[in-house]
Chain A
Amino acid sequence: MDLFLQQLSNGMVIGSTYAVVAVGFALAFTVLRVIQFAHPDVFMIGMFSGMMAAGFVPGGGLAVALIGGAVGSTAIGAVIERTVVAPLRGRDVLTTLIATLGVSVILQNGMAAVVGPDPIPYPRLLPSRFYEIGPLVLTLRQMFCLGLCAVLLALASFYVRGTHIGRATRAIAERPDVAAAFGVNVGQVCRITFWLASTMAGLAAVAVGTLYGSASAFVGLLYGLKAFVCMLVAGNRYFEAVIVVAFALGILEALVTGYVSSSLRDAVAFFVLIGVLYLRPDGLFGSYAT
């Protein structure tokens, strides 16, 4: 029972990080109709820019790293939006998919050329301390990661459900033409949404770097695949569905690691994907009719 609870909480921590990346993916896909394959690399850039910021400002610590992560990822997200996504908006999904895949390759290998292909140690932005909460043992880094991601997800949900521009993102997701004809500047809303997704990714990336104590130019690869799976499994009808699926995936992976084998962990996502797409091609929670 203790192992179960422990793996459950570990899974929630991992799941929360998947959720932040997956939400960014899902926003880009439902609002902009773009499969933003470079999104996980925006996350990676945030991880490194946070690390650099923490290095530049002595004693700055976590707060500076978070700001650095957010600035770095938002900047690179804005550049991608301006140079690749906006000019291709309205084109075939495959066109932007290939274009963003190209950006992804450039970012990964560009970063690898600078920092090397192997993981490098991440600065210790939080002390290695752990807390016993009943039968659970959680590290401070895990708690920070889970807490930060939960706040980001809550804010993203509030953006989509509770704000004026957020309502427009849902309107665009369901009927882009009608939204435009009712006064929504679609290009502008897409831009803001893209920036926000990038900012979220950069903030979460600093927490993930701190959690694992390492950063790699290729960290986005696995994150990207899993976030992509979460989006497909969830379907795009309800924004929050992808969050639920991401948490479920994190927990499932942790349970498989705990009870079966850690080498099977990364395959779980794909078993789930195949199973769900076989039974419910529109995703577990349904998608907008196209």
Chain B
Amino acid sequence: MGLRLAGVSKSFGGIQAVEQVSFEVTNNSITGLIGPNGSGKTTIFNLITGFYKLDKGVIRYKGERIDRLRPHERVKRGVMRTFQITRVFPQLTVSENMMIPTRENGLASLFRSALDTEGQERAARLLKNLGLLRLKDEKAGNLSFGQQKLLEFAMSFMIDAELILLDEPSAGINPTLMNNLKDWIRREQEKGKVFLIIEHNMNLIMDLCEKIIVLHHGQKLAEGSPEEIQGNEEVLEAYLGN
């Protein structure tokens, strides 16, 4: 009972961005979402997280229909995302950024201090693992692109989201660090988290994912194990053209 998309469609004006896409992200898995530029990957992310409204289709998470919920309500149910173009809160410090993600919007939590010890400790642990701890009091806007990417990545682990959607996690990150991220994602999966990853770095995606979904012109072109995808003629054609 993970994430299930059934017949999902979305158009913008005359452009059919996503058409009749169905797939499933099973529990305890790492799934890759690949395809050439403009194939609808990020649109799918926006549909899953509620930034776009569906034209047609159904999205269920843990059996519950989530496609009519607002974005924060989906976070509350455990679905967290990062953005392709990294988004952090530039005027807040790194540690303040870490305190922003939440699954709790109740009135009781409102006036509680934002910088509680438990949260701070958790943030410090995450930042340390990503080599950002020494920058904790720096404004996030002063960080390099790669560091902001890591910060956004760290932020998505501040709440215990079960399903994490990563939009091109490797872009702008150096190879050594990328290996760290890869190990991290694997460790988190072992602990029970589920990942859906958009990525252009094929080595990474083939190495990490058990299942890969290929999109082309808004439609699902193929679905299968890394080996199956690598041997699929249609996929090669979509990427290389003919």
Chains A and B form a bound pair: no
